Chain A
């Protein structure tokens, strides 16, 4: 047991704590948008903590080498870059398929934007679309 292993263990512990929060957020939040909020953020930082923690932990043990740390950091960076994109695609698809916001929501500027695009399209007769959800699209 040395300092590096201790830091790694602490990071893994923090990471799993955020995993727990992420799962708890899925249960407690009222609608799909707020669930995406909590699960994306906590799961990303949780994975980051666990992976970098494992890398540092391995440095402190006698079988570990620097290769552990570089590989885990590459995976962590990859996850950090791709996780928000999947969240973005999911939440946008949810909105486009008509899932309503929670009734406590205070403002919806995206609906106004889509309706404005709809109106613009209706004024130019050759580009009239039937599907209302796709109104703001090119």
Chain B
């Protein structure tokens, strides 16, 4: 996906900043709204170049629908992760079998990779250690048997299926 025009990127930054202003002030007073809009316009003029590369294309309805669907999915994965942590911490035998595994991703954009890395860190038993192009190095608290094979390809396939694939179907649409 190529870079969007400057106007579109600028407008997108203004919209995001203004939404944050709305939530923080939590008031619909005309004066507050006007001043917030002014501030958004000024701040966006300084920051839009580093904030976004896609511009208004981020507000495509399909992307927004996937993002809204992603929120409960992600929160549920996070709750599962914490129950998993609770089990491992409270269990007297401390059932951990850690290791650093390698995964591959199909995402291409940098923001998508960042979102995937964040999602991995907050979900069951995994934490991202490093990202190099399309390779993720992930510290896994319980490496399953399928990932303990000698062959490199099978290892990557098994660990990707356990870690990255469940999120990719959402993040592929949201960030490309």
A57 at the interface (CB under 8 A from B): no
Partner of A102, one of B24, B81, B98: B98
Cα–Cα distance between A44 and B119 once the two chains are bound (Å): 12
Residues on A with C-beta less than 8 A from B129 are 88, 91-92, 95, 110
User: When the two chains form their complex, are residues A70 and B85 in contact, meaning their CB atoms are under 8 A apart?
Assistant: no
Query: How many A-B residue contacts, CB cutoff 8 Å?
Result: 132
User: When the two chains form their complex, are residues B24 and A37 in contact, meaning their CB atoms are under 8 A apart?
Assistant: no
User: When the two chains form their complex, are residues B155 and A88 in contact, meaning their CB atoms are under 8 A apart?
Assistant: no
Cα–Cα distance between A63 and B125 once the two chains are bound (Å): 41
User: When the two chains form their complex, are residues B127 and A106 in contact, meaning their CB atoms are under 8 A apart?
Assistant: no
Closest beta carbon of chain A to B50's beta carbon, Å: 16
Q: How many residues of B contact A (CB 8 A)?
A: 42
Residues on B with C-beta less than 8 A from A45 are 78-79, 81-82
| Cβ-closest chain A residue relative to B88 | A38
- Dominant SS at the A interface? helix
User: When the two chains form their complex, are residues A70 and B82 in contact, meaning their CB atoms are under 8 A apart?
Assistant: no
- Dominant SS at the B interface? mixed
Residues on A with C-beta less than 8 A from B99 are 101, 105-108
User: When the two chains form their complex, are residues A71 and B141 in contact, meaning their CB atoms are under 8 A apart?
Assistant: no
User: When the two chains form their complex, are residues A88 and B128 in contact, meaning their CB atoms are under 8 A apart?
Assistant: yes
User: When the two chains form their complex, are residues A25 and B85 in contact, meaning their CB atoms are under 8 A apart?
Assistant: yes
Determine, out of B41-49, B131-139, B166-174, the stretch whose residues face the partner at the interface. B131-139
User: When the two chains form their complex, are residues B139 and A91 in contact, meaning their CB atoms are under 8 A apart?
Assistant: yes
Q: If A21-B85, A28-B94 touch, does A107 touch B130 (CB 8 Å cutoff)?
A: no
B23 at the interface (CB under 8 A from A): yes
User: When the two chains form their complex, are residues B132 and A136 in contact, meaning their CB atoms are under 8 A apart?
Assistant: yes
Taking Cβ atoms with an 8 Å cutoff, the residues of B that contact A are: 20, 23-27, 78-79, 81-82, 85-86, 88-90, 94, 96-102, 117-118, 121-122, 125-130, 132, 135, 137, 139, 141, 143, 147-148, 155
